[in-house]
Structure 1
Amino acid sequence: MSAASSEIPLPSPYVRGPLWFTLQMILQNFFCFWLGYRATGYHALEKESGALILANHQSFLDPLLVGLPLHRPIGFLARETLFKVPVVGFILRKTHVMAINQEAPSSTSLRETVRALQHGFLVGIFPEGTRTYDGNLSAFKPGFAAVIRRAKRPIYPVGIAGAYQALPIKSWFIKPTRVRVVFGKPITVEELEPFTQRGQDAALVALVRERITACCEAAEGWRKTGQPPKSLP
């Protein structure tokens, strides 16, 4: 039997599983009340046939905050050690989360990520690799460049503001504050093409960082003023 034929068939990239649907309904009410949660720019993703969502990483809440407004699932990448935690591991497996070894990312993880994208899934990655320690955007790890080169799918930059204030590192209680999420305009496959050639990883990382930074600034401005951005970054 070939490797391709032995792969587990992927579910529909447009249908939320019952567990995520239930959690989403509960969390939407809680986050809107406790965090004043609002998001903008996400409607274009509802019918997108496979796209990479790249966002800044402020807290453990981030995957929930990014996926909350969508009526379809996002397959996030998470460190494999989380899958060993009771209850948490069960939830991750049932909500399209994919395991990755951050110390030694394997070709298997890369292949499964690309397969999900080409199947039509939205896949979420935090280029910083870990949560920020001070609320600012940290250095990006270039690993996502390999996914972009192989998958040939658009990128949607996302900026999250307020999650660090709500749940910073070493905090276990969600503080009431205002949280905003801005989904920026996509970076198309055509725009990405010049950056997918060998030796262009640094330029690609710089491009993505620039676009995520713009989304973060728009989200932070919205959080502070209460006025949503007039246009998407």
Structure 2
Amino acid sequence: MYKFISSILYWILVKKCKSLNVYGKENVPQLHRYVVTCNHESYNEVIMLGMALYPNQIHYMAKKELFNNKLFGNFLKSLNAFPVDRENPGPSTIKTPVNLLKKNKTIGMFPAGHRTTEETPLKRGAATIAMLAKVPIVPAAYVGPDKIIGLVTGKAHIKFGEPIDTANLPDHLKKRNEKVDYITQEVTKRTRALQQELNQLK
């Protein structure tokens, strides 16, 4: 289902309406085995991040409440989304994305954890998962419409930054928590810098 729907959206939004500008695509690894992160202010980031990486398929983490309705939950699963219990994260919270990454799949995460326009410190999940899977994190930023209709009538911008190598970190970082904190801070810093760069380009 993901391939079918993303192909339709790509034709409409990118080819027909030319609603997306993508910058820094050269920073995206050739292998699909990476975590891509992005700021999260609306559902449009989910759609446009998928368009920016098309035809590669992104596997998104989504809050478990979205899967309460069995029909809608099955639809989300067909779009490569998988449920996460944010209140009581268990081993599967880490295990599922790590296993997907080991199968050469791309994990999409919005580390702020919820849709917000506030300066929220990015949560540690992306760093933990990328470290365990020994894959890079590709930071991305979105600037553009926050309403769905804006994807057709407006212009969205996504910029990818240089990958963060989670396997080769500064020597002074010895403990796992220190490494996770360092990576998380790097993702936060680079995401904000990418947003600022996009705001200057608009």
The structure 2 residue matched to 1:105, chosen from 66, 86, 89, is 89
SS at match of 1:139: coil
The structure 1 residue matched to 2:140, chosen from 149, 154, 158, is 158
The structure 1 residue matched to 2:48, chosen from 65, 89, 104, is 65
The alpha carbon displacement at 1:196 in A equals 7.6
The structure 1 residue matched to 2:183, chosen from 204, 210, 220, is 204
Change (3 A) 1:43 1:204: closer
Partner of 1:78: 62
Larger Rg: 1
Partner of 2:35: 52
Change (3 A) 1:35 1:82: farther
More divergent stretch after superposition (36-45 vs 90-99): 36-45
Change (3 A) 1:202 1:46: closer
CA contact (8 A) 2:139 2:162 kept: yes
Partner of 1:216: 195
Change (3 A) 1:91 1:61: farther
Q: Indicate yes or no: 2:1 matched with 1:22.
A: no
Ranked by relative contact order (alpha carbons within 8 Å, sequence separation 6 or more), the top structure is 2
Partner of 2:162: 185
RMSD: 2.4
Gaps of 5+ in 2: none
CA contact (8 A) 1:159 1:217 kept: no
The alpha carbon displacement at 1:43 in A equals 5.2
The alpha carbon displacement at 1:215 in A equals 1.7
User: What TM-score, normalized to structure 2?
Assistant: 0.84
Q: Indicate yes or no: 2:116 matched with 1:139.
A: no
CA contact (8 A) 2:41 2:146 kept: no
Letter paired with 1:139: P
Change (3 A) 1:46 1:96: farther
Gaps of 5+ in 1: 1-18, 168-172, 225-233
CA distance in 2, matches of 1:187, 1:145: 10
